[in-house]
Structure 1
Amino acid sequence: MTQPRTQSYIREPAKRVFASELRDARYSFREGDDEKSPTYILLPTGERSNRIFIVGSLTQKEKRGEQHSMYLARVADPTGTFFVSAGSYQPEAMQQIAKLEPPAFVAVVGKPNAYETPDGNVLISVRAETVTAVDREIRDLWVLDCAEATLDRIDAFENSPDAEAARREYNPNLESYKKIVYDALAAIRQ
């Protein structure tokens, strides 16, 4: 007798994305029909993302709740702010945030989530999987890597399988994302 086959999901690589691009994202979708199917955020530069890797300065953290506590944090890169959360389903990330005192450079791997506000706006937050204290040099290297990844997405936009959806959802001005990249690079040179 053979064992029934179970569908396994491969953990996707975390994409490097600047806060300003993630802030512009608002379209999310699920690939597959079951509850374990991955949920993606479509980035304006034409690539889907299930996980992201960000590095920036932890500028604020707040503990909410007692019994079912969670941490909300703000992490700033040279282009803007990420809103990060970690709760009881992310105990490692929650403990890591609890140990940190702002301001501190941190590296975060997490899942982007879209939330619709009562007035119809869509906000993107990051549900942290891991949070690690880093130094300025690591942050600067991340900015370089993120700049390269962003420019690669822009260059590949026309051939991206998600370009049509990105055009429909965002009608992105790709030149403005190039400017964001150059501004971020200039910020770390100061």
Structure 2
Amino acid sequence: MAGYTREVSKRVFAQEFRNSDLSFRDGDDIYSPQYLLTPTGAKVNRLFLVGTLLETENIGMENEYWRGRVADPTGSFLIYAGQYQPDAAHILAECETPAFVSVVGKPSTFTTPDGDVLTSIRPESINIVDEQTRDLWILDAALHTIKRIRSLDSNDEYISRAKEHYNTDAKYYSNMVLEALKILKT
């Protein structure tokens, strides 16, 4: 498939990810990529995160369908894996918790009957990692988030769209980053 390039995985803290509710397709084709736009303007088609896998549960009825909760210093991500993510589902089924894991996956949103938007991740891969890898991810996610916060005054299309939709408070997300970095001091 000539010309195909995989989207870069974005680094977003759980708190910002869970505050996100604006999803859209980039194009009119049914094969157009789906994105989640975060309050600081990250246009997320694929996400890379590292955190502590706190719990796993098989919530499937007839087939195995696994839910996991992965925490970073700002909150937690919900991940769901089943028959279409067999490697990720296997890790969730076999992993002893708590454990440091890295996850690459696609953001997913679900709108409840009340109109609330719930975010989760469909993992493409999950790997067991060490504490140092988790700490490096926190630094990396902090740098990416700070860069987006500093760009909030730009005229970028997606940043403008995020600011309009979320009424983004730069100080709120700056404080989130500072809180996340505190874990590295311990």
TM bracket (short chain):
over 0.9
The aligned residue for residue 106 of structure 1 is: 101
TM-score normalised by the chain length of structure 2: 0.94
Q: Which amino acid aligns with 2:149?
A: I
1:15-44, CA deviations, whole angstroms, 9 ceiling, x for partnerless residues?
Answer: 010000001100000112222211000010
Shift of 1:7: 8.2
8 Å Cα contact 2:40-2:163 kept in structure 1: no
Q: 1:144 aligns with which of 136, 139, 145?
A: 139
Higher Cα Rg, which structure: 1
Q: Which amino acid aligns with 1:122?
A: V
The aligned residue for residue 163 of structure 2 is: 167
The aligned residue for residue 13 of structure 1 is: 8
1:118–1:66 Cα change, 3 Å = closer
Shift of 1:115: 0.8
User: Identity over the aligned pairs, expressed in percent?
Assistant: 45
2:59 and 2:160 map into 1 onto residues whose CA distance is 40
2:3 and 2:90 map into 1 onto residues whose CA distance is 28
The aligned residue for residue 73 of structure 1 is: 68
Q: 1:179 aligns with which of 161, 175, 185?
A: 175
8 Å Cα contact 2:77-2:120 kept in structure 1: yes
The aligned residue for residue 3 of structure 1 is: none
1:158 and 1:38 map into 2 onto residues whose CA distance is 27
The aligned residue for residue 39 of structure 1 is: 34
Secondary structure of the residue that 2:79 maps to in structure 1? Answer: strand
Shift of 1:10: 2.5
Secondary structure of the residue that 1:102 maps to in structure 2? Answer: coil
When the two chains are superposed, the root-mean-square deviation of aligned CA atoms in Å is 1.5
Shift of 1:158: 2.5
1:148-174, CA deviations, whole angstroms, 9 ceiling, x for partnerless residues?
Answer: 010011112222321221122100101
Equivalent pairs counted in the alignment come to: 185
8 Å Cα contact 2:10-2:42 kept in structure 1: no
Stretch of structure 1 that moved more, 92-101 or 35-44:
92-101
Unpaired segments ≥5 residues, structure 2: none
TM-score normalised by the chain length of structure 1: 0.92
Secondary structure of the residue that 1:12 maps to in structure 2? Answer: coil
Pairing of 1:109-120 with structure 2 (within 5 A): 109-120=104-115
Q: 2:49 aligns with which of 45, 50, 54?
A: 54
Shift of 1:66: 5.3
